Chain A
Amino acid sequence: MAKKTYDLLFKLLLIGDSGVGKTCILFRFSDNHFTTTFISTIGIDFKIKTVELRGKKIKLQIWDTAGQERFHTITTSYYRGAMGIMLVYDITNEKTFDDIVKWLRNIDEHANEDVEKMILGNKCDMEEKRAVSRERGEAIAREHGIRFMETSAKANVNIERAFNELAEAILDKTAGGREPDADHARIAVERRPSRAQHQRACCT
């Protein structure tokens, strides 16, 4: 047996309409690379990246799903094992934002109840083509009590931050991650201002 090179294994899932940039986000995060060529994901893809959080080596197993409806039955079967889900829409395409509700319903139906969620409004580098304001993104996130960030895989905005924040949220939950009290303190005190900071950092 190969020796374990990590302390914890987190399974993450990327979902959202076709063409919003799920694969690009994953590529930026795992390979720090961006390509404009559109290669649609067939079924499901998968990447691994190990990060270090609070002195723990965390292996992120990230599943990238096909956004196309036809793969729906296949992709939903991977919701179950996910500990964190990133829900991606494209800020330049209103429909992808409207579909967030549909994706949230998919999560409710197929994912574990305690799964950590995060909404990402991708392509925030394309300000001139923006169709969904940041306020609307924030509003839907607040309504469902989910973290929110605007990202750009192309300009490398908030990509690493998004994954780190999602991983930290899962770490908070896992046993041995933190003391429960400290958890609450962190959520109440730290997270909110830090989130606001990200949003300012992006697209201003």
Chain B
Amino acid sequence: MEFTLLKTINLISKTSSTKKLSMGNNVGGFTRTLEISYQALVSPNHLHVLQSAWNQHFCDNELKALILQDVVRTFPDETYFRDSNVQDLMNPNEVIKYLEKVKEEHLVPLDPELATHLNNCNISMELFGIRWLRLLFGREFPRTEIPHLWSYLFSEGPLLPNIHYVIIAMLISMKKSLLDPDPGTVLSALMRPVGLNVGHVIAFSLHLARPLVYARPSTPPPPLSQTQSRNYLRDWSLEERGVAGQSTSSDEGVAEGADVARELATLALLRAQLPAAAAALAQVLPKSPPHIAQPLQKILQLSALLQCRNHALVDVETALEADEGQAPEKTGKRQLVPVIVSTGSRVAHAAKPGVKSLKKQVKEVPLKLFHQIECDSNVSDLPCLDPLRLRTE
């Protein structure tokens, strides 16, 4: 090594005579000199062999400076990006180190089988993990589900202390497809996760973070096959979330306002989508054999029940909420809004124009005209035509 360095020094002093080359014995001076002679070093062709090693070194240094610059310039006004831990995370080398740490400290003890298999496939964490982290899982889940996941991620402050649990939860949730003997298949699964359930991943990572408080969630529904498109997932994402929410809440024992609202949202989604889907099914299968006709009939009955304009079911549940001292309008309406504007309900309206008008009717309050006699009694609180008792008749 020292020999090579000496050779380098000799060559430099030969080639870059114009530069001030004070070949001091101290290392600091040497480095500085090298920096000065960088231009001289990279240009001449006869230095090609030397060039690649040193050139690489300087290119790397330039790159490091560029990355540092990028990191420092990222949202200078946001305190989050000023935190040194966060800045470290934005540096690619730090990300790789971090991901390896997550693997060694969490994946290996929790699921040695999966960790070993990934090793055997020669798949390092950074291959997929850099994207997972950089976009905060933004490409791994349907966009509609991202807010849900991010709410959880940011719930414990800007340093995202739960993020490695999410990584582990995702990996273990996908375990079945990740144990495929073909490394290519495994890598594809990691690069483009299919059918990952946000609710399940969150419940799982909660369990990983506090195993004594949160029970391990039951296994999620089997992922949909590749052929069923992601749109399908998106359409039903709210419903899935509702189901997942249910399982989490049952672990805790108490249904909270948000869970009730989620159930209501699920119900609303069903109301918006099931009738249209059932009608379409019935149209395609007009004369079906009894083993199809019977379940189909049941589905149609259920959807008819959902379509019934009596929305009392929702009101009753909202009222229950009110009994618990929570604002019923807020929990009920707010949660229902996204479902109503979702594509599903549009489809339902398009398929069945009648539904829309029915919904409008429901909202109308039937008017009752009170007769004078009914208002005679002064003690009555019922509304009357002459609340101020101005009429003398």
**Is A61 an interface residue, CB under 8 A from the partner?**
yes
> Complex: how many Å from CA A74 to CA B67?
13
**Is B376 an interface residue, CB under 8 A from the partner?**
no
Contact A46 B191 (CB under 8 A): yes
Contact digits for B174-186, partner A, Cβ 8 Å, 1 yes 0 no: 0000001110100
Contact digits for A66-109, partner B, Cβ 8 Å, 1 yes 0 no: 00011111100000000000000000000000000000010011
Contact A46 B126 (CB under 8 A): no
Residues in A with CB closer than 8 Å to B131 are: 42-43, 45
**Is A189 an interface residue, CB under 8 A from the partner?**
no
**Is A2 an interface residue, CB under 8 A from the partner?**
yes
With contact pairs A59-B184, A108-B52, A109-B52 given, residues A74 and B63 touching in the complex (Cβ less than 8 Å): no
**Is B134 an interface residue, CB under 8 A from the partner?**
yes
> Complex: how many Å from CA A69 to CA B62?
11
Residues in B with CB closer than 8 Å to A73 are: 60, 63, 92-93
> Complex: how many Å from CA A122 to CA B175?
39
**Is A185 an interface residue, CB under 8 A from the partner?**
no
**Whole-angstrom distance between the Cβ of A48 and the nearest chain B Cβ:** 5
Residues in A with CB closer than 8 Å to B96 are: 74
Contact A74 B66 (CB under 8 A): no
Q: B184: nearest residue on chain A (CB-CB)?
A: A48
> Complex: how many Å from CA A43 to CA B127?
7
Residues in A with CB closer than 8 Å to B187 are: 46
Q: A46-B191, A47-B188, A61-B184 are in contact. List 19 more A-B contacts (CB 8 A).
A: A1-B181, A2-B180, A42-B130, A42-B134, A42-B139, A43-B126, A43-B134, A44-B127, A48-B184, A48-B188, A59-B184, A70-B63, A70-B67, A70-B70, A70-B92, A71-B92, A72-B63, A74-B92, A105-B55
**Is B56 an interface residue, CB under 8 A from the partner?**
yes
Chain A interface, number of residues (Cβ within 8 angstroms): 20
Q: Which 4 A-B pairs have the closest CB atoms?
A: A43-B130, A42-B131, A48-B184, A1-B181
> What total count of A-B pairs have CB within 8 Å?
48
Which of A1, A69, A109 is in CB contact (< 8 Å) with B63?
A69
Interface residues of A in 4-51 (CB under 8 A from B): 42-48
**Whole-angstrom distance between the Cβ of B183 and the nearest chain A Cβ:** 9
With contact pairs A2-B182, A59-B184, A108-B52 given, residues A45 and B130 touching in the complex (Cβ less than 8 Å): no
**Whole-angstrom distance between the Cβ of A16 and the nearest chain B Cβ:** 17
**Is B135 an interface residue, CB under 8 A from the partner?**
yes
**Whole-angstrom distance between the Cβ of B88 and the nearest chain A Cβ:** 15
Residues in B with CB closer than 8 Å to A46 are: 127, 187-188, 191
With contact pairs A46-B191, A48-B188 given, residues A74 and B130 touching in the complex (Cβ less than 8 Å): yes
**Whole-angstrom distance between the Cβ of A194 and the nearest chain B Cβ:** 30
> Complex: how many Å from CA A85 to CA B292?
55
Q: A108: nearest residue on chain B (CB-CB)?
A: B52
> Complex: how many Å from CA A198 to CA B55?
37
Question: What are 25 A-B contacts defined by CB distance under 8 Å?
Answer: A1-B181, A2-B181, A42-B131, A42-B135, A43-B127, A43-B134, A45-B131, A46-B127, A46-B188, A46-B191, A47-B188, A59-B184, A61-B184, A69-B66, A70-B63, A70-B66, A70-B67, A70-B70, A70-B92, A73-B92, A73-B93, A74-B92, A74-B126, A105-B55, A109-B56
**Whole-angstrom distance between the Cβ of A12 and the nearest chain B Cβ:** 13
**Whole-angstrom distance between the Cβ of A85 and the nearest chain B Cβ:** 17
> Complex: how many Å from CA A109 to CA B56?
8
> Complex: how many Å from CA A69 to CA B63?
7
Q: A64: nearest residue on chain B (CB-CB)?
A: B191
> Complex: how many Å from CA A109 to CA B182?
30
Q: A75: nearest residue on chain B (CB-CB)?
A: B92
Residues in A with CB closer than 8 Å to B130 are: 42-44, 74
> Complex: how many Å from CA A202 to CA B188?
32
Contact digits for B116-147, partner A, Cβ 8 Å, 1 yes 0 no: 00000000001100110011000100000000
**Whole-angstrom distance between the Cβ of B55 and the nearest chain A Cβ:** 8
Residues in B with CB closer than 8 Å to A108 are: 52
**Whole-angstrom distance between the Cβ of B127 and the nearest chain A Cβ:** 6
> Complex: how many Å from CA A42 to CA B66?
17
> Complex: how many Å from CA A105 to CA B48?
11
Q: A73: nearest residue on chain B (CB-CB)?
A: B92
Which of A42, A43, A71, A108 has the most CB atoms of chain B within a 10 A radius of its CB? A43
> Complex: how many Å from CA A102 to CA B184?
30
**Whole-angstrom distance between the Cβ of A25 and the nearest chain B Cβ:** 17
Residues in A with CB closer than 8 Å to B135 are: 42
